[in-house]
């Protein structure tokens, strides 16, 4: 297996760049960003290529910029699988409700095999476990297939019971940022009432909302036994958007009754 330093050396040699050329280019990058950490001295570059020295993130950025290399790919040379970031994140649960900062970018390398693309119908209920066993990283691929990148996503903390049973702990929610105005009116059922995702300086909240003068009232589901809260608005809390989609667990009833 070729060492990452040797791969960087080959990239430099393909471009007919001398050590001095790389140093001067990195100086220009450092000057542009006003940070000396981007500079790659001659001796440092020699150590990176020949002694296995791991470059700092700043120097690795400079090398990728000078050699026209993909930063994520080069991170992979050093054993950092950037493509596994979302999967590794899912290995553990967080108790607090929070926004999901990962973004599905159009240039992402996640793809679905043509056989699955031809058979998958998002309108139909599908047993995904078997499909996932056949095709691998299915959930992210489906997000791309369904073209949902224009929304933001949140995760309801594993100890956040405020909207149970409609939105139980551990749910992923899809948030439409264009719907930040709290709607008022009468709803036939509780499922028709808009749910909002709120950002407070200390944490995030998910729940029904109503406005009263200069405040927002966060109203949990009555079955959750969580108290309502009032926040100054605007000022103390921001409305991220309205929840327009939910992926949730359906097996938490026994656990909830045990906690009550």
pTM for this one?
A: 0.53
**Predicted pLDDT of residue 140:** 46
Q: Are residues 130 and 182 in the same domain?
A: no
**Predicted pLDDT of residue 156:** 85
Locate 173 and state its tokens: 């929610």
**Predicted pLDDT of residue 123:** 44
**Predicted pLDDT of residue 54:** 95
Residue 118 domain-assigned? yes
Q: Are residues 157 and 249 in the same domain?
A: yes
Read off φ and ψ for residue 134, nearest 5 degrees: -80, -35
Residue 39 domain-assigned? yes
Residue 230 domain-assigned? yes
Q: Is 93 exposed, middle or buried (0-12, 13-18, 19+ CB in 10 A)?
A: exposed
Residue 91 domain-assigned? no
pLDDT tens digits in sequence order for the chain, 260 residues long: 679 999 999 999 988 999 999 999 999 999 999 999 999 999 999 999 999 999 999 999 999 999 999 998 999 999 998 877 777 776 776 777 676 666 544 444 444 444 544 554 444 434 333 444 444 444 444 444 444 456 787 888 888 899 998 998 888 888 888 899 998 888 889 999 999 999 887 788 899 999 888 899 999 999 888 999 999 988 888 898 999 988 877 776 655 545 55
Residue 98 domain-assigned? no
**Predicted pLDDT of residue 245:** 87
**Predicted pLDDT of residue 246:** 87
Are the C-beta atoms of 96 and 157 separated by less than 8 Å? yes
**Predicted pLDDT of residue 111:** 45
Q: Are residues 185 and 251 in the same domain?
A: yes
User: Residue 162 sits in a domain of what CATH number?
Assistant: 2.10.109.10
**Predicted pLDDT of residue 141:** 42
In DSSP notation, the chain reads: ---HHHHHHHHHHHTT--HHHHHHHHHHHHHHHT-GGG---HHHHHHHHHS-PPPPHHHHHHHHHHHT--HHHHHHHTT--GGGHHHHHTTS--SS-EEE-----TT------HHHHHH--TTS---HHHHHHHHSSHHHHHHHHTT-TTSEEEE--TT--TTTTTS-TT-EEEEETT--SPP-S--SSTTTS-EEEEEESS-EEEEEEEEETTEEEEE--GGGTPPPEEEETTTTEEEEEEEEEEE--S--HHHHHHH-
**Predicted pLDDT of residue 248:** 77
Q: Determine the structural domain holding residue 46 and report its residue range.
A: 4-80
| Chain centroid, CA 12 distance in Å | 33
What domain count does the chain have? Answer: 3
């Amino acid at each position: 297996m070729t060492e990452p330093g040797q791969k960087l050396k080959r990239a430099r040699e393909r471009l007919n760049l001398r050590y001095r050329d790389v140093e001067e280019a990195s100086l220009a990058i450092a000057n542009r960003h006003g940070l000396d950490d981007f500079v790659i001295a001659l001796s440092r570059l020699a150590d990176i290529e020949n002694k296995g020295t791991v470059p700092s993130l700043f120097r690795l950025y400079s090398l990728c910029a000078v050699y026209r290399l993909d930063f994520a790919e080069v991170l992979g040379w050093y054993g950092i699988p950037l493509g596994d970031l979302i999967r590794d994140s899912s290995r553990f649960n967080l108790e607090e409700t929070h926004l999901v900062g990962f973004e599905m970018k159009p240039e992402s390398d996640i793809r679905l095999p043509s056989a699955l693309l031809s058979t998958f119908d998002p309108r139909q209920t599908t047993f995904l476990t078997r499909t996932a066993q056949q095709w691998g990283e299915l959930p992210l691929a489906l997000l791309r297939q369904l073209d949902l990148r224009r929304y933001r996503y949140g995760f309801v903390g594993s100890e956040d019971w405020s909207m149970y049973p409609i939105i139980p702990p551990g749910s992923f929610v899809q948030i439409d940022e264009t719907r930040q105005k709290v709607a008022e009116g009468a709803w036939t059922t509780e499922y028709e009432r808009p749910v909002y995702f709120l950002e407070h300086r200390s944490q995030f909240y998910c729940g029904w909302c109503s406005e009263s003068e200069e405040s927002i009232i966060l109203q949990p589901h009555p079955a959750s036994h969580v108290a309502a809260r009032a926040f100054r608005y605007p000022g103390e809390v921001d409305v991220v958007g309205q929840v327009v989609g939910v992926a949730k667990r359906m097996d938490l009833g026994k656990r909830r009754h045990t906690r009550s």
